[in-house]
Amino acid sequence: MAAVNADTWATELGVLSPTSPRLITTGQRVPAGTSGGVTALGTLAAFAGGLLIGLTALVLGQVEAMWGSGALDGGYLWLVPVGVLAGLAGSTFDSLLGATAQGIYYCPRCQSETEARRHRCGQPTRHLRGWRWLNNDVVNFSNSIVGSLLAGFLGWLIF
Ligand SMILES: [Zn+2]
């Protein structure tokens, strides 16, 4: 959950960045909205998106602890950094796929790149690069798998 939330926040808030994004693979400046482009604001948003899920998990853990023993339980504190790290890992993986293998299309009407076969303006797009089967849904699913594996691994390290 931290991974997909972090990626959503990074995508939605990252486009508000005052500076143009850099491609995560080469560092080259790219237009806002380009798949695989990253900004400081987007990364901060990913951090906050993961943090929110980590804090939510902590609060739910405390509710469960209060319900059971009537006392707070510090044993849930690890959920906060794990949420942040899983969020950053998932959204970074999402950007890496967006810059490399994800199917990217071009809208001739808007003259912009998009991840959709039909642009939001209604115009059918043409394939530009990447694997067609690796669409946004598959990328988001992979992102949540990466976040989950990292969170599981961190949990294993901690316990
Ligand atoms: Zn368009």
**What is the per-residue pLDDT across 65-116, written as a single tens digit (0 to 9) for each?**
888 888 888 878 999 999 999 999 999 999 999 999 999 999 999 988 888 8
Q: Which two tokens stand for residue 117?
A: 């076969």
Q: Which two tokens stand for residue 102?
A: 């994800």
Report the distance separating Cα 95 and Cα 97, nearest Å.
Answer: 5
The pLDDT of 121-137, averaged and rounded, is: 93
Q: How far is the CA of 135 from the centre of ligand 1 (A)?
A: 18
* Distance of alpha carbon 64 from alpha carbon 67, whole angstroms: 5
CA of residue 104 to ligand 1 center, whole Å: 13
Instruction: Give how far the C-alpha of residue 45 lies from the chain's centroid of Cα atoms, to the nearest Å.
Output: 9
CA 132 vs CA 34, 46, 50, 127, 138: distances in Å: 17, 26, 29, 8, 11
Look at residues 77, 80, 51, 82 and name the one whose alpha carbon lies nearest to residue 147: 82
Between the CA of 116 and the centroid of ligand 1 the distance, in Å, is 10
pLDDT, average across residues 130-139? 93
Beta bridge partners of 107: 112
Q: What is the pLDDT of residue 112?
A: 86
Question: What residues sit around ligand 1, an ion, with C-beta below 5 angstroms?
Answer: 107, 109-110, 119, 121, 123
User: Which DSSP symbol is given to 22?
Assistant: E
How many whole angstroms from its chain centre is CA 102?
Answer: 14
User: Would you state the structure tokens that stand for residue 116, as one six-digit string?
Assistant: 């959709």
Residue 158: pLDDT band (50, 70, 90) is confident
Cα–Cα distance, 103 to 11 (Å, whole number):
17
Separation of CA 33 and ligand 1 centre (Å): 13
pTM as predicted: 0.86
Question: SS3 for 137?
Answer: helix
Give pLDDT tens digits for 62-79: 998 888 888 888 878 999
CA 118–ligand 1 middle distance (angstroms): 8
Handedness of CA 142, 148, 154, 159 (dihedral sign): negative
User: Which is it for the CA torsion 38, 43, 49, 50, positive or negative?
Assistant: positive
